[in-house]
Amino acid sequence: MGTRSLWVGLHRYVGLALAGFLIIAGVTGSLLAWNDELEAFVSPQLFRVAAPSPDARRLDPLVIRERLQAAYPHALALRVPLAQEPGRALLFMLRSAPGGAHRTAQALPNDQVFVDPYTGRVLGERKWGDLSQGMKNLMPFIYRLHYSLALGVVGTIGFGIVALLWTIDCFVGAYLTLPAKSHRTHRMAATRRRRPWLVRWWPAWTLRRSGGYRLNVDLHRAGGLWTWAMLFVLAWSSVAFNLPQVYEPAMKAAFAHQPGLESLPRLAVPRPEPALAWADALSSARRLMAQQAHEHGFEVHAEKALIYDPVRGLYRYDVRSSRDVRSPGGNTRMAMDGASGAFKGLWLPTGAASGDTIKTWLTNLHMASMWGWPMKLFLCVLGLVVTVLSVTGVVIWERKRRARGSASTTRHMRRARAL
């Protein structure tokens, strides 16, 4: 078996193994490109609000958090959304409170609460991803399918392995589109060599005027070539999301990275309530972030969230800065002590370390969280391209399998007649 035949076999059988997974990922990914819009369309009662009057003012998010904490004493409201979009409700996430020395934490019936920012009224709740609650969890369930086949940790790792194989297969598939060495007569081979190599490769990028099986082959090959760069981005970023135990060592071996805020030490015993009041923490966070912006040469454009981490006893302050590529939202992060308000660390999405810059671009391209609706439309179409490539690959394999079976039957019949 020649080298090319070996790669053909690898591409064929890896593609067959991945086809079902990639069809699910492609279809769900096309929907998730419009996640915010579809969430608001499916559940307007949770996501959409109207100002009670033209001059109505929104409540302070910290005040809303205090009210929620009082209304849900068996839960912890540890994240305060600071970005307020016109016409959108505020989303607060809850987590189980510690159960005490001899009791385990109780599971919450719901872990997301939607609040009217003008009145503080609770619009509704849901257990994220629990489809038994009805249509309000449709998009979260689609996300679970996309990320893990809704199978939890096992599905997450499984999809990570699929993404790793897909990444490798991106390069194998591209190699197989290159012009093969000619095995024809010397005169014909010499004629082919006189043609520029790119000219000989160009047919692989085109759809010829033919239908049926030939069209399947052209769609599979040309579709993969024209979208190859973004297919690789989707594949490798999926490894980053689902299989960090592979992605991180590989990327850290080649590129510089900042220490992540998760590397900060944990407390011996978690501290559910911060010693520093939330209002004081936000004031300190704004001041410290302004200092960091001045020292590191970036601008703060908008606040995103203030979060308390009881495991480390830290506040985290997230903003959108000039180092972000994500919009809206942002991933510029700062940590400070939950008791003293002392600065503990800063993480910048771009410009500080090449490895972090690469990951920021990979993950934000994957989630269509930049460049507005044109990028969402592009990712939506790309998800359908992934589906088409998977389906056409299976069709090509099935056609060749039947052809091999027919050829084998013909050979047996000829041998039988010769006896």
d(CA 258, CA 359): 12
Q: What is the pLDDT of residue 343?
A: 96
Residue whose tokens read 């998760």: 262
User: Contact, 65 vs 77, CB < 8 A?
Assistant: yes
Which strands sit side by side in the sheet containing 90-96, from one edge to the other? 75-77, 90-96, 112-115, 122-126
Could you tell me the pLDDT band of residue 193, with boundaries at 50, 70 and 90? low
**For residue range 297-314, what is the model confidence (pLDDT) as tens digits?**
999 999 999 999 999 999
Among left, alpha and beta (phi > 0; psi -120 to 50; other), residue 201 is alpha
pLDDT the model gives residue 222:
87
Lowest mean pLDDT among 102-116, 158-172, 358-372: 102-116
Summarize pLDDT for 365-419 with one digit per residue, the tens. Answer: 999 999 999 999 999 999 999 999 999 888 888 887 776 665 555 555 555 555 5
- Give helix 228-242 / helix 244-254 axis angle, nearest 10°: 110
Does the bond joining 61 to the residue before it have cis omega, within 30 degrees of 0?
no
Three-state SS string across the chain, please? CCHHHHHHHHHHHHHHHHHHHHHHHHHHHHHHCCHHHHHHHHCHHHHECCCCCCCCCCCCHHHHHHHHHHHCCCEEECEEECCCCCCECEEEEEEECCCCCCCCCCCCCCCEEEECCCCCCEEEEECCCCHHHCHHHHHHHHHHHHHHCCCHHHHHHHHHHHHHHHHHHHHHHHHHCCCCCCCCCHHHHHHHHHCCHHHHHHHHHCCCCCCHHHHHHHHHHHHHHHCHHHHHHHHHHHHHHHCHHHHHHHHHHHCCCCCCHHHCCCCCCCCCCCCCCHHHHHHHHHHHHHHHHHHHCCCEEEEEEEEEECCCCEEEEEEEECCCCCCCCCCEEEEEECCCCCEEEEECCCCCCHHHHHHHHHHHHHCCCCCHHHHHHHHHHHHHHHHHHHHHHHHHHHHHHHHHHHHHHHHHHHHHHHC
Give residue-wise pLDDT tens across range 81-91: 998 888 899 99
CA 70 to chain centre: 34
Give Cβ neighbours of residue 242 (< 8 Å, ≥ 6 apart).
147, 148, 156, 157, 159, 160, 163
Rounded Cα gap, residues 208 and 216, in angstroms: 11
pLDDT band, very low/low/confident/very high, at 8 (cuts 50, 70, 90): confident
pLDDT in tens, 228-265: 999 999 999 999 999 999 999 999 999 999 998 888 99
* Mean pLDDT of the 135-154 span: 94
What is the percent of the chain with per-residue pLDDT over 70, rounded to a whole number?
Answer: 90
- Per-residue model confidence (pLDDT) at position 309: 95
With bands split at pLDDT 50, 70 and 90, how would you rate the model's confidence at 139? very high
* 181 contact partners, CB below 8 Å, separation of at least 6: none
* Least reliable range by pLDDT among 6-20, 79-93, 193-207, 269-283: 193-207
